[in-house]
Structure 1
């Protein structure tokens, strides 16, 4: 049964539980869900809930009102500064150490810090009417919450540099063609696609998903020798877990596995 809560008194972020999936909705539609201090703290709180609640296995981040996020609230910036949350980055996400997957469900604009939030997620679904951009250089700013770091590894180098240096937007169909978007949907369907993708993740062993995600984090950029050295201490205990035994039994008995969390 679904339950719905709000993360602060202004309802700037909404959370909804859907069978082990936590849907986190940025809810400042009048400013295309721009991130101010209040929204940043609320998103960080929702991500803490995702991490600490054993019944929640996957997060989905989306925006209200037909847009994902327009980035940092520039009207609030002179008084509030960049809305980072401690050492966890913009909205408590861009620099956070996480153990559970998060999927971005993008409608409309995902620009500036909003695009950086999407880049910080593990997977992206997007409507074919959505678009991505990092226009910071046009505002005298820097895409410092992961845009300049992550984008050149997610897109062909020259395309990423064009976006970073010219502030040019990238339509979602082009982003999907280059592999930045996992699933391209009709307008209004990005959230449903993300929830369906989350359900596919949730069907697998939570331990194996968590460790697999960690391996990707710690081995990125390493050569093979260093990567195996970093991976093996993480994987060795997995083969002795109840989940591994259950997975093998379920395969032999031709039934769905019954994972323990």
Structure 2
């Protein structure tokens, strides 16, 4: 298993669990963490697709990711500050585009950059202890790691504007109510819930999941007509796979499918 200075990896069933492991800083996105996230993605995209899903969480009981590293930001010049933001744009886009589903298991604070990292995942499971927010305005800043783009996609434009303009922090139950989180669990049930969902995904066609995810990412921002055209392309791409041949045959023959993953 690949080793990183600020991240730890573990495997349970079909899920690879990526833990941001900097509890003393509440798992803040220091440059070292961002560099390791890029290195992880390089590794995963070449060797990690044996896993059927990825779960991202934070070390400790307090924090998923508390945000950007403000102490480091204070020492940055303009060019370094912009490069920091752009590097996180690359990281979040790459997580968003992985061929397998990515679940954020938010175990505590998901603030600023932490909320933005969670938003780059396919969906979010939250502990009852979790809290979310884009508090950048309290520092005279605005979201810089994708929050102003992805938060409206998740909760709607008006709610996103309210959260960003006020910098308000919300608890897990409100995140569930507005559609930011898919599920809220007891703290000790958070990772098991995410792993169980990856197990459900592992029981279906890998190629279909990959095609569906790719198409849905590409549909974001398209009008209905263009999105339907993209869906038709995905539908035909799936139809020609070996998984589809096997799945349809299994249905007709009333047996369990044995998907080859092709």
Deviation, 1:210, is: 0.8
Q: Deviations over 1:61-101 (max 9, x none)?
A: 000011100111112224464596896x4285322233221
Give, in whole Å, the separation in 2 of the partners of 1:192 and 1:184.
Answer: 12
Structure 1 residue 166, shift from structure 2 partner = 1.1
Q: Does 1:94 align with 2:92?
A: yes
Supply the distance in 1 between the matched residues of 2:181 and 2:25 (Cα, whole angstroms): 24
Structure 1 unaligned residues grouped into runs of 5+: none
CA distance in structure 2 between the aligned counterparts of 1:134 and 1:207, rounded to whole angstroms: 35
| More deviation, 77-86/157-166 | 77-86
CA contact (8 A) 2:85 2:144 kept: no
Alignment of 1:133-152 (within 5 A): 133-152=133-152
| 1:111 Cα deviation after fit | 0.3
- Rounded to whole Å, the distance in 2 between the matches of 1:46 and 1:222 is 30
The alpha carbon displacement at 1:60 in A equals 0.5
**What CA distance in whole angstroms lies between the structure 2 residues aligned with 1:79 and 1:35?**
15
Q: Note if 1:56 corresponds to 2:51.
A: yes
Partner of 1:35, secondary structure, is coil
Q: Contact 1:24–1:46 at 8 Å: present in 2 too? A: no
Using the alignment, how far apart are the partners of 2:187 and 2:199 within structure 1? 21
Q: For 2:50, what is the secondary structure of its paired residue?
A: coil
Q: Would you tell me which structure has more helix in proportion to its own residues?
A: 2
Show structure 2 runs of 5+ residues with no match. Answer: none
Is the Cα contact below 8 Å between 1:105 and 1:194 reproduced in 2? yes
3-state secondary structure, aligned to 2:160: helix
Q: Distance in 1 between matches of 2:89 and 2:229?
A: 33
RMSD after superposition: 2.2
Deviation (angstroms), 1:246:
1.2
Q: What's 1:69 paired with?
A: 65
Alpha-carbon offset, residue 182 of structure 1: 1.1
SS in structure 1 at match of 2:65: coil
Shift of 1:228: 2.5
Shift in alpha-carbon separation, 1:226–1:155, aligned structure 2, 3 A: same
Q: Kindly indicate whether the alpha-carbon contact (under 8 Å) linking 2:103 and 2:125 is maintained by their aligned counterparts in 1.
A: yes
TM-score (norm 1): 0.88
**SS of residue in 2 equivalent to 1:158:** helix
Name the SS for the 2:64 alignment partner. coil
In 2, Cα distance between equivalents of 1:100 and 1:25: 17
Identify the match of residue 34 of structure 2 among 40, 56, 76.
40
User: 58-67 vs 236-245, which deviates more?
Assistant: 236-245
Deviation for aligned residue 1:230: 2.7
Report if aligned partners of 1:7, 1:45 keep a CA contact under 8 Å in 2: no
Distance 2:3 2:125 in 1: 24
Give the paired residue count: 254
What does residue 205 of structure 1 align with? 205
Matched, 1:191 2:185: no
User: How far apart, in 1, do the equivalents of 2:39 and 2:176 lie?
Assistant: 30
